[in-house]
Amino acid sequence: MSFCEERDARGRAYSPSLWARDFEATLDRQAERGACLRARHQPRRLAYGAHALEGLNLFLPENQGPWPLMVFLHGGYWQQLDAMATDFMAESWLSRGWAFASLDYPLAPEVNIETMVAACQQGVRYLQREASTLGLNGRIYLGGHSAGAQLAIMSCLGNGRLEGIEALWLISGIYDLRPLAGTYIDEPLQLDGAQAERLSPLCHDLQGLPPLMLVHGEFDPPSFRSQGEALYERALAAGVAAELCPLPNCDHFDILERLEALPF
C-alpha cells in the first residue's frame, strides 16, 4: 500500500459519517429537538471568556435548587458545530433534577487544540466559581462526545488539570490523535507528531482521573470502539474507576439520544 493509500485508509477509518446510517438526518433531528427545548425552557447564555465562542447555554430545572450540573462538550472534530448541537440533551438531565450546560469553545483553524482544552477548563472553572450564584450545589459531571470527549478528559490531565469533577462521561470519543496526522481531518489542525502525542489521553498517565463512563455505539467506527476499550483497560490499570458501556443498535451520532438508560 502506498503512503497516499495508507493515509486515505486512515481517513476512512476515522470518518464516523461513513459508518453511520443517516448522520445528516440525525443532526437535523437533534437540532430541532434543541430548538424546541429552548423555545419552552430558555437557557441562560453566559460568557466565560472574551472570545465569541467562550460561552455556554445553562439550563436550570424548574424545581427548587441548588442542583448538580452536567457540563457537556460537543463534537465536530474540533472544527465544526457549537453548543446548540447538544442542547437537546438537557431535557433528560432536567427531568432528573440536574442542571445542564452546553459549552462552546473556539474552533480550528482559528485556534489549536491546546487552546480549546484551556478554554474548556476556563469554562468549567467559571461554573465552579459561580456555582452558588447560579443555584448550583457544586457537584459537577463533565461529559463530551467524539472530539468533545477528548477535550473533556484532557481537561482533567496534565498541568492545570481540573479538580472537583465527580465523573467523566465520554461518549464515542477519540483518545489517540496520532492516526489522524496527515489525513483530511488534520488539515485545519496541522498536528505534528509531538502535538498529537501530547493531546492523546492514551499517551498520558491516567492516575488521578475521576471515575470514567466510557460509552460507544454498536455502529461506531471500529477504530473509535477500540480506542475506548484501550482507554478503559489503561484506566483500570492506573487504578481509575471505569465502566465500559457499549450500546446496541446506535451509531456515532444517534448515540446521544440513547444515554437516558445509563446509571449516574
CATH code for the domain in which residue 72 is found: 3.40.50.1820
Residue 80 lies in a domain: yes
pLDDT in tens, the chain (264 residues): 665 667 778 888 899 999 998 999 999 999 999 999 999 999 999 999 999 999 999 999 998 889 999 999 999 999 999 999 999 999 999 999 999 999 999 999 999 999 999 999 999 999 999 999 999 999 999 999 999 999 999 999 988 999 999 999 999 999 999 999 999 999 999 999 999 999 999 999 999 999 999 999 999 999 999 999 999 999 999 999 999 999 999 999 999 999 987 877
Sheet holding 167-171, edge to edge: 44-47, 55-59, 99-103, 67-73, 136-145, 167-171, 212-217, 242-247
Structural domain range at position 246: 3-257
Q: Is the separation of the CB atoms in 240 and 209 below 8 Å? A: yes
Residue 264 lies in a domain: no
Q: Which residues contact 249 (CB under 8 A, 6 or more apart)?
A: 218, 219
pLDDT of res. 257: 96
Residue 133 lies in a domain: yes
Residue 166 lies in a domain: yes
| Phi, psi angles (nearest 5°) of residue 246 | -75, 130
pLDDT of res. 1: 65
pLDDT of res. 3: 56
Residue 263 lies in a domain: no
Using N-to-C axis directions, what is the helix angle for 147-154 and 113-129, rounded to 10°?
Answer: 60
Angle at 147 between CA 143 and CA 153, to 5 degrees: 45
Residue 208, number of CB atoms within 10 A of its CB: 12
Buried b (16+ CB within 10 A) or exposed e, 22-50: ebeebbeebeebbeebbeeeebeebebbe
Residue 262 lies in a domain: no
Residue 245 lies in a domain: yes
C-alpha cell at 26: 440525525
pLDDT of res. 6: 74
**Short-list 60, 199, 40, CA closest to 131:** 60
Q: Is the separation of the CB atoms in 101 and 58 below 8 Å? A: yes
Instruction: Name the pTM for this structure.
Output: 0.96
Count of domains observed in the chain: 1
